[in-house]
Amino acid sequence: MQIRLGNAPVSWGVDYADDPKNPPWPKVMGEIAEAGYQYTELGPCGYYPGDSDRLRTEFGRHGLSVVAGFVFQPLHDPLQKQKVLDESRQTLDVLGAVGAEFLVTIDHISDERMVTAGRRDHAVRLDLPRREHMIALIDEIADLALERGITPVLHQHAGTYIEFEDELESLLQRLEPDRVAICIDTGHMVYAGIDPLAVFKRHGKRVKYFHFKDIDPTVHARVLAERIPFLKAVEENIFCPLGSGVINWIDVAKSLNDLGYRGAATVEQDIDPTISSDPLENAVRSLSYLRSVGF
């Protein structure tokens, strides 16, 4: 199964560029390469140096090619529209400079949805005006990406307003398939009770990119039973190295091979860097496991 396997700063706990808990960027970039990966993501805009020439040099020195970057912003909030678009432009400018292919568009976690993460029947849903705003904004971000030759992919995420299968599917129905593709995050989908392979088979060629993520079934069951909010679940290591969780990676390899997927997949393990286990060791374990099952 020949696909481009990468890892990303998020596996080192880097979700926000200005978080004081972040490890230094040279350490993260170096350890992604040390773990054996040749592909990576940009991380949050502003975490790596902003100078494009320097950034290309640093990635090249480590033998890393950048596949994607993300916009992780409140797509559901009309008051945040300009901020979302500004960050989208900044991220796309860097992605273009380093030759990346994908912009991953993710609604930001919100207090009201984190408390019901994974529990569909208890989740507050978007009202119609905010839902329409979200659809239009995703489409506007797609315009910005496409005019730069970068493919926008929509990413479902636990603890957000694009979490459950009906929420994802309703957006996909409104967005043109040749304009907005899909990034399947295996871990976030299972967290929310979605079968990621069923989504892949249903949407076929619209799936352009993957985040490979796994979840610990024991922690997941306790999180749902005890109504533990999303960020607390991350602190309790709901996400684990690939092969030690609930995902059947042999089935994933078979499905991707059967449907002719030859793109990229970035390994991610959401962590809190102050309390979670060694990200370098986990990145090595995940890559070794994927290779052992045919990737």
Neighbours of 103 (CB within 10 A): 27
Residue range 214-241, pLDDT digits in tens: 999 999 999 999 999 999 999 999 999 9
Residue range 161-194, pLDDT digits in tens: 999 999 999 999 999 999 999 999 999 999 999 9
* CA-wise closest residue to 209 among 69, 88, 113: 69
Position 273 pLDDT exceeds 80 = yes
Superfamily of domain 4-292: Divalent-metal-dependent TIM barrel enzymes (3.20.20.150)
Both tokens of 172, joined, read 């996909």
3-state secondary structure labels for all residues of 161-177:
CCCCHHHHHHHHHHCCC
Position 276 pLDDT exceeds 70 = no
- Computed over every residue of the chain, the mean pLDDT equals 97
Residue range 21-80, pLDDT digits in tens: 999 999 999 999 999 999 999 999 999 998 999 999 999 999 999 999 999 999 999 999
Domain spans of the chain, in order of start = 4-292
- The answer to whether 175 touches 135, Cβ cutoff 8 Å, is yes
> For a pLDDT cut of 70, what percent of the chain falls above it?
100
